[in-house]
Amino acid sequence: MKYVIIGGDAAGMSAAMEIYRNVPGAEITSVERGFIYSYGQCGLPYVVDGRISSTKRLIARDVETFRDKYRIDARV
């Protein structure tokens, strides 16, 4: 079965990982219009006010990890 996930934030990639774990042989494509994948949007206010130094600190996994380790076609 083929799946397309719209949005590469934490919720979208959680959905992709659930499919990866529970649907053997699934073909998963994830599409994100921005350039950051698998990040916690709820942390953005802390980046703006300086408590967190960079949006890079909000990223759980990068695009290459999803592609190479989990066979998820992560597109930006």
Concatenated DSSP letters for 12-23? Answer: HHHHHHHHHHHS
DSSP 3-state of 58: helix
Residue 20 binned pLDDT confidence (cut-offs 50, 70, 90): very high
Q: Is the pLDDT of residue 25 over 90?
A: yes
> Can 42 be counted among the known catalytic residues?
yes
Angle at 18 between CA 37 and CA 8, to 5 degrees: 15
Give this prediction's pTM: 0.76
Mean pLDDT across 19-32: 97
pLDDT > 90 fraction of the chain, expressed in percent and rounded = 57
Q: Is the pLDDT of residue 37 over 80?
A: no
Annotated catalytic residue within 42, 48, 60, 76: 42
**Residue 63: per-residue pLDDT:** 85
Q: Are 34 and 6 contacting, i.e. CB atoms less than 8 angstroms apart?
A: no
Domains of the chain: 2-75 (3.50.50.60)
